[in-house]
Structure 1
Amino acid sequence: MAEFYQTIKAAPMWDESRAMMLPGEIEYRTEQDRLKTGIPLQESLLAELRALGSELGVASTLTAL
């Protein structure tokens, strides 16, 4: 499988500014980024979640990134 991966990655691209991506690679990179930096939320959603937490008596540890 590693040999297949290396063969695919080494194949020339028609657009040199782009990289060859294998199925699941984008999702894996996104997952790793989210684990490091958190999940980005719009400020309006963050405010709604804080308000709901307050209403239910749940302390909020949510912060804007």
Structure 2
Amino acid sequence: MEAIKAAGLGGVLTWVISLIIGSQGSHGGQLSIHLMHAGQYQVYWSWPLFLAASGLAFGIMVMQR
């Protein structure tokens, strides 16, 4: 259950950070932030950042037990 919650929190954190960095015109270096088309919407996204943020959220949730 923690993994599902961590994926949601990781997605929110990724979206916020990618929006801030991507809207400034940067690609974030190793984060590889790119403009993704989701239907008729355009969203800045980074898979490496999503995995790192989800891992961080998962670790924090496990430590709180």
What TM-score comes out, normalization by structure 1 length?
0.31
The structure with more strand, counted as a fraction of residues: 2
The structure with more helix, counted as a fraction of residues: 2
Higher relative contact order (CA 8 A, sep 6+): 2
**Greater Rg by CA:** 1
What TM-score comes out, normalization by structure 2 length?
0.31
